[in-house]
Amino acid sequence: MSEYQHRARKRFGQNFLHDAGVIHRILRAIHPRAGERLVEIGPGQGALTEGLLDSGAQLDVVELDLDLIPILQGRFAERSNFHLHQGDALKFDFSQLGGEPGSLRIVGNLPYNISTPLIFHLLEHAGLIRDMHFMLQKEVVERLAAEPGGGDWGRLSIMVQYHCRVEHLFNVGPGAFNPAPKVDSAIVRLVPHAELPHPAKDPRLLERVVREAFNQRRKTLRNTLKGLLDAEAIAAAGVDGGLRPEQLDLAAFVRLSDQLALRQ
Q: How far apart (Å, rounded) are the C-alpha atoms in residues 155 and 168?
A: 18
Q: Of the listed pieces 87-95, 154-162, 202-210, 228-236, which binds ligand SAM according to CB under 6 A?
A: 87-95
> 104 to 163, contacts with ligand SAM by CB under 6 A?
109, 111, 114
Q: How far is the CB of 79 from ligand SAM (least distance, A)?
A: 16
Q: How far apart (Å, rounded) are the C-alpha atoms in residues 233 and 216?
A: 20
> 11 to 70, contacts with ligand SAM by CB under 6 A?
12-17, 41-44, 47-48, 62-65, 68
Query: Would you say 52 or 234 has its CB closer to ligand SAM?
Result: 52
Query: Would you say 95 or 216 has its CB closer to ligand SAM?
Result: 95
Query: Would you say 71 or 156 has its CB closer to ligand SAM?
Result: 71
Q: Is 192 in the site for ligand SAM (CB under 6 A)?
A: no
Q: Is 88 in the site for ligand SAM (CB under 6 A)?
A: yes
Residue type for position 192:
P
Query: Would you say 66 or 194 has its CB closer to ligand SAM?
Result: 66
Kindly state the greatest CA–CA separation across the chain. 66
- Name the residue with the smallest CB distance to ligand SAM: 42
Residue 257 sits at the vertex; the CA angle it makes with 167 and 95, to the nearest 5 degrees, is: 55
Query: Would you say 99 or 111 has its CB closer to ligand SAM?
Result: 111
> What sign for the dihedral angle of Cα 40, 45, 48, 52?
positive
Sequence-separated (6 or more) residues with CB below 8 Å from residue 81: 53, 56, 57, 58, 59
Q: How far is the CB of 17 from ligand SAM (least distance, A)?
A: 4
Q: How far is the CB of 252 from ligand SAM (least distance, A)?
A: 35
- SS3 labels along 128-174: HEEEEEEEEEHHHHHHHCCCCCCCCCCHHHHHHHHHEEEEEEEEECH
Residue selected from 90, 126, 233, 236 as contacting ligand SAM according to rule CB under 6 A: 90
Q: How do the residues of the chain divide into helix, strand and coil, expressed in percent and rounded to 5? A: 40, 20, 40
- Number of residues binding to ligand SAM, judged by CB under 6 A: 23
Q: Which residues lie near ligand SAM (CB under 6 A)?
A: 12-17, 41-44, 47-48, 62-65, 68, 88-90, 109, 111, 114
